[in-house]
Chain A
Amino acid sequence: MSEIYKLTLCQIIEKIKSKEISCEEVTKSFVDRAVKSKKLNCYIENTFDQALTKSKDQDKKLESDKKLFGAPIAVKDLFCTKGVQTTASSKMLEGFKPEYESTVTSKIWNEGANLLGKLNCDEYAMGSSNETSHFGNVINPYKNNKDLVPGGSSGGSASAVAAYLTSATVGTDTGGSIRQPASFTGTVGLKPTYGRCSRWGIVAFASSLDQAGPMTKDVKDSALLLEVIAGHDNKDSTSAQNKVEPFSQNLKKDIKGLKIGIPKEYKIDGISKEILNLWEKGVEVLKSLGCEVKEISLPHTKYALPTYYIIAPAEASSNLARYDGVRYGFRAEGKDLIEMYENTRSLGFGDEVKRRILIGTYVLSSGYYDAYYLKAQKVRRLIKNDFDEAFKKVDTILTPTTPSSAFAIGENIDDPIAMYLNDVLTVPANLAGLPAISIPAGYDQNNLPLGLQLIGKPFDEQTVLNNAFAIEQSINFNSNFKDWWM
């Protein structure tokens, strides 16, 4: 079978189980393509050989009860993988081989999938363009004369799914790191409710915001992958005890009567006309599906991004203190302990990471805590209250995912604020801990994909998925890039 790599995750597993294709064929198909796609720089580390060996073994004994049997899956390099280098795209962790496996990836392997490799991302997941990686920037398979960024921080993951270099992947989303790159690459990205998926074994960026989630070709794949990776973990004190439903089985496109909110505050300054039109198109689709669409207000939307840029760096400044050159990772020389620390952290971290550590240190420091950190936590409460109010009236909220389509490499690199503005529409869901999905909904005039975002009530991923599935089926988005890099 040609172009196995173009099949969705669900299709691949179905065909393996019906013995239409073998596990080895599937793995080989992705490996061959990944090998020819080095230019996109998606993979930091590959485990192609191990995956091929495992797939051969799997062909000897089909385990049809396993939900991901035979699927080759590469993961964002923020997930610790036992015996396989895990770097968070930082020089600081170059060569680091964990002696443990993250809960989320363990669950994936337990369902019969095989690790294909570790995918590039922004350093410590800090960035919106994958340009802060120590291992170089990732290139978007969509091109507009110039090479474009795939978004970030899960940029390697998004490009890899879009360019068919993995059957699916998991990313992490702290302020939009799954959804924004999904939007930039014409793929589906789901950030679950905070606490849905265990954070154990994921390199921490901002603990109260970080959440792992699926990045896939379509909504059904995301539903399947979510039902695998979700669930309570007693090794993570913030992990939710809510029941995990069989999201993929429950998936339905009949969403008649669903109430959908359109937040007026998301029509921010500088958002492109094309994106507003796409949003309008989304509204029309929902109406045609029998949904009740109404305007709602989320009054503190404007303050979400400033709030985020206090809370996330504050937590990061503390989470990244463990990278000190003592027990693992990079160490620079120093005549005494303090000098060793300072040199290690100065040479081991990139500029964006240092910026965030310094801002985080500043907003927590004595005399500034109340003015910045405490205030941000209070505004965070107001932002959550806005959503609580809105969800009394509606079931989901529809917005664009990003204020623009993918931009050229280097375009925003010198202006941190311009870069941060990429996350303006995705950050509120992180602050409120809500599930949110980005699905591809169309193209702009340069033939670049654009995404729509659906935000749901806490732990109501099923409604979000159903809603996204219905839109997906109506819009019928098809990726249309050429394999220009091969």
Chain B
Amino acid sequence: MSITKDTVKKISKLSRIASNEKFEENMIKDLNSILKFVEQLNEVKIENIEPLASTVDQELIKRDDKVNLMNGKKDILSNSPADNENFYVVPKVIE
């Protein structure tokens, strides 16, 4: 499989990274060489092998249903680039 300009456009869009001609050209080259490298895995026999998502072998940790709000609005909004009356403010969302 190989990555074309359209693929770069599509995955840039999905990743919300602005793309342009030059960016696309560089990425086509880099991404294809990475892809070629990882495609070595095609040599491996993987029939009947269970995928491994985590090496941790224990029960899922659970919390009690208790409200413990350590964070005030200040903690949540102190680093925000734009806020107003305790709301985060973003450029208009166009539906």
Binding site for B on A (CB under 8 A): 95-100, 194-195, 208, 234, 236-241, 300, 302-303, 305-307, 309-310, 317, 321, 324-331, 334-343, 345-346, 349, 351, 354-355, 357-359, 361-363, 365, 368, 371-372, 374-382, 384, 416-417, 420, 432-433, 458
Contacts and interface: CB of A to CB of B under 8 A. Distances in A.
Contacts of B67: none
B12 A358 contact: yes
B63 A234 contact: yes
A321 B52 CA distance: 23
Contact of B34 (A96, A355, A374): A355
Contacts of A307: 38, 41
B84 interface: no
Contacts, number: 175
Contact of A338 (B16, B71, B88): B16
Given A194-B56, A377-B53, A359 B31 contact: yes
Interface residues of B, number: 55
Contacts of B8: 358
Contact of A345 (B16, B30, B80): B16
Contacts of B26: 351
Contacts of B69: none
A476 to B, nearest CB: 35
Given A331-B82, A376-B41, A377-B53, A346 B18 contact: yes
A160 B12 CA distance: 37
A306 B81 CA distance: 38
Contact of A340 (B40, B80, B90): B90
Interface centre among B7, B19, B23, B54 (most CB of A within 10 A): B54
Contacts of A343: 18
A96 B80 CA distance: 9
Contacts of A345: 15-18
A306 B51 CA distance: 16
B49 A378 contact: yes
Nearest to A335: B91
Given A303-B44, A432-B55, A361 B90 contact: no
Interface string B55-88: 1101011010000000100111011111000001
7 contacts: A303-B43, A336-B91, A355-B27, A355-B34, A375-B41, A381-B49, A382-B49
The 7 lowest CB-CB distance pairs between A and B, nearest first, are A433-B55, A377-B51, A328-B79, A346-B18, A381-B52, A342-B18, A99-B75
Contact of B41 (A195, A325, A365, A379): A379
Contacts of A363: 38
Interface string B3-24: 1000110011011111100010
A328 B44 CA distance: 43
Interface centre among B3, B14, B15, B18 (most CB of A within 10 A): B15
Given A234-B61, A309-B38, A417-B34, A362 B11 contact: yes
B51 A328 contact: no
A241 B58 contact: yes
Given A337-B90, A337-B93, A384-B55, A357 B46 contact: no
Contact of A306 (B12, B18, B38): B38
